[in-house]
Amino acid sequence: MLTLSLLIVAFTQLAAPPGSAPTYQALMAEALSSYQRQEYEQAIVSTQHAMTLARVEYGSRSLEFADAAGALGALYRVQAKDLRALAASIRSAHGRQGPRLGIESEVFFSEVDENKQRLPTGEPSVEQER
């Protein structure tokens, strides 16, 4: 994956006229602007590119890389919300209330388990209160 990232950065820099390759800061600004225009796909692409540049220029333990990774995660959450709404709308039109057993339900139950583990000890869970 890192090799592919390096090739993408190298190709981008070779294809662009000298001095015009986008910087990490410019890509993050472009991503924010795309997000504000609700152009989520473009925001994701810009953020992925910024993350690649951050890894190459600053390292995978840098704050720049962490900021790009966090932004990408946030954009995926926004995209996931839109996709879940789309799926619910289509299911509803077919008279179905929820997803079939599979990835979607597995992820849901994994999140429930993670949330249960975050409960302070000694406090009853919803199941224990019943």
Radius of gyration over every alpha carbon of the chain, rounded to an integer in angstroms: 20
Task: Output the tens digit of pLDDT for each of the chain's 130 residues.
Answer: 444 444 444 444 444 555 678 999 999 999 999 999 999 999 999 999 999 999 999 999 999 999 999 999 999 999 999 999 999 999 999 999 989 999 999 998 999 999 988 888 766 666 665 5
- For the purposes of burial, counting CB atoms within 10 Å of the CB of 126, is it exposed (0-12), middle (13-18) or buried (19 or more)? exposed
What pLDDT does residue 127 have?
Answer: 63
Burial degree of 31 (CB within 10 A; 0-12, 13-18, 19+): buried
According to the model, what pLDDT value does residue 121 have? 73
Task: Report helix, strand or coil for 16.
Answer: coil
- Amino acid present at 45: V
pLDDT of residue 1: 46
